[in-house]
A and B are shown apart, each in its own frame.
Chain A
Amino acid sequence: MIGVDVAPPRGDIGKVGFVRADIRNPVIAKVIAKEEVDTVVHLSVIATPGTTGGRSTMKELNVIGTMQLLAACQTAPSLRQVVVKSTTQVYGASSRDPAMFTESMEPRRTPSSGYARDVADIESYVRGFARRRPDVAVTVLRCANVLGPNVVSPIASHFRRSVVPNVLGFDPRLQFLHEQDLYGVLEHSVRTGVPGTFNVAGDGVLTHSQVARRLQRMTVPIPEPLFGLARFGGGEYPAELRALLTYGRGVDTTRMRSLLGFEPRYTTAETVVDFADSVMPSPNRADRALAALESRLTGASGD
């Protein structure tokens, strides 16, 4: 087992070997050929330009990197399996969406730019690869927004803010995948090698207001046209996150259970509970006051 990244790993990674390489570079083909790789797990899809230095670098890493990696895979005779971590953002988010997307549904509006576009491009390259190498089992995992105590992502930092902005007059449905379940589903896919495209998400949906309330966060409504303008003190709100926070999205996970045979350990609600432990609780005066009143009343009625 070898890991490939542009930056060396922090800390001990156990028995995993490490090669420092850039997937945009043909070096990746040499790595795959030399090590006689039989399984490639492609995780390197970045959601935000933040850490990489600009949108163009991000696009290059995502799209060109995937093309380069698949080109290397195509000529590797030892290869048996490819697992690609995709995202439910390929479905977009709009007012014309069905409530629950199944894997066979197309986005109602094809994303024209940004991360969602990258993912759509990546998936089409992966489909092309699967056609050219029918002997390789290709698994595409469309994961819902990953949340957990260690996750750093635009939506995680959105809910970590002390005051959470929400889009005025909208309360989108959200679905989460716990970080442990993300590792779980990757491992499961590598072990079982079931080919196909699968939605992966925790059970159930929560609305944005429910998540904010369960995290004991105050929300501030901001009209939709202004949501994109301001960056609200450092928060990052790319177009696809703004669409999600307006219209929400749900995906159907029947195939994940029946065909892939994977069962997430955390539901969407349990993921939020686990995430809440990593969030500084804010003083919830209203609830405490009501709790005090309630205990006095129930005490009084008992006399």
Chain B
Amino acid sequence: MTESAAQSLSGATTRERHPLRAIPAADWAAALESAAKEVFGVEWEEQLARFIVFLRRRISGEYSVDEYGFDRELTQRFLLAVLRPIKEKWFRVEVRGIENIPTDGGALIVSNHSGTIPMDGLMTMVSIHDELGRDLRPLGADLVFRMPIVGNIARKAGATLACSEDAERMLRNGELVGVWPEGFKGIGKPYSERYKLQRFGRGGFVSSALRTGVPIVPLSVVGAEEIYPLVGNIPALAKVLGVPYLPITPFFPLLGPLGLIPLPSKWLIEFGEPIRTDAYDASEADDPMLVFNVTDQVRETIQQTLYRLLGERASVFG
């Protein structure tokens, strides 16, 4: 029967129809509408209209950045939105002592630093934004701002260079400033030295707090040490590339891009009681002994809290 059918068609010419032409326009519209409902919900028209207003504002450049280059809209709608599920589902960050951060006015958050890449800083940003509604303004090393893309994102996210001029300017303007005084020594330390605080710089952050009279809030982060256990380093290659360290973790570079997925450790972050600096005179910021003492006090507080939190955590991945 198929043969006879083929025979009867043999005289006719066939042409393949374009696949899209088979579907009428109305079907397309219906499909798009249901897709829009799927993505934006039942009120999809208003949602989409709002989204387009946002998109137009971005395309026409009619948004504002502050003098440090902080793009609040972009940070809240994109960066924090991307980081939030990582914070809640992957690391299951538990935030404690959020009441120790002043709800307004300048304050300096001082934190330990670990994890090969500054994931702890990002998680702290999301946590403070979600729990308190304030924007954390991180201070970064100049290497961050020398790197293309990274430096650009850092400024858009509210970071600025870790120097006394910027720190004091921000604190005077009542910003919540974050600083990681261990710097690359902390973030790039081997896994065997986890939770051992490195030297706290030269105490420049204490001078800035003393000069502006803002409280110092010690922050202890447990969990970031285990996300990329740093078991090796290639100092020679790092030197060639002009970076402070080149990490080797159990999975990187062994598994290639897969090795970039952080291990899902359980995070506890605790803001300690603020250390007030307004009792001191601003001129005392130049007293090295006082600066060393306050630096030590902050460092000890964080170190002790880290040990306590480690005891409270059931297991690394608990």
Interface residues of A (CB under 8 A from B): 95-100, 102, 105, 167-171, 173, 204-207, 209-214, 216, 223-224, 247-248, 250, 284, 286-287, 290-291, 293-294, 297-298, 300-301
Contact = CB atoms under 8 A, between A and B. Distances in A.
B69 interface: yes
A2 B154 CA distance: 51
Interface of B is mostly: helix
Contacts of B49: 294, 297-298, 301
Interface residues of B, number: 37
A290 B69 contact: no
Contacts of A211: 61
Contacts of A204: 64, 67
A250 B67 contact: yes
Contacts of B314: none
Contacts of B149: 169
Interface stretch (B11-19, B156-164, B232-240, B297-305): B156-164
B148 A224 contact: yes
Contacts of A250: 67
Contact of A99 (B45, B55, B61, B161): B161
Contacts of A170: 148, 151-152
Interface string B164-186: 01100100000000000000000
A216 B62 CA distance: 11
Nearest to A210: B61
Contact of A290 (B55, B160, B161, B166): B55
A214 to B, nearest CB: 4
B211 to A, nearest CB: 15
Contact of A210 (B65, B147, B148): B65
A287 B59 contact: yes
Interface in B140-157: 142-143, 145-152, 155-156
Given A205-B65, A211-B61, 11 more contacts: A99-B68, A99-B166, A100-B67, A100-B166, A100-B169, A167-B148, A171-B155, A206-B65, A213-B59, A284-B59, A287-B60
B35 interface: no
Contacts of B67: 99-100, 173, 204-205, 250
Contacts of A209: 61
Contacts of A294: 49, 52-53, 56
Contacts of B152: 169-171
Interface string B16-59: 00000000000000000000000000000110110011011001
B60 A99 contact: no
A173 B148 contact: no
A100 B56 CA distance: 30
Contacts of B65: 173, 205-207, 210
Which residue, of B68, B147, B156, has the highest number of chain A Cβ atoms within 10 A? B68
Nearest to B45: A301
Contacts of A297: 45, 48-49, 52
B309 to A, nearest CB: 34
A4 B224 CA distance: 66
A156 to B, nearest CB: 18
B63 interface: yes
A245 B275 CA distance: 41
B288 to A, nearest CB: 23
A102 B165 CA distance: 9
B270 to A, nearest CB: 30
B61 A293 contact: no
Contacts of A247: 145
Nearest to A215: B61
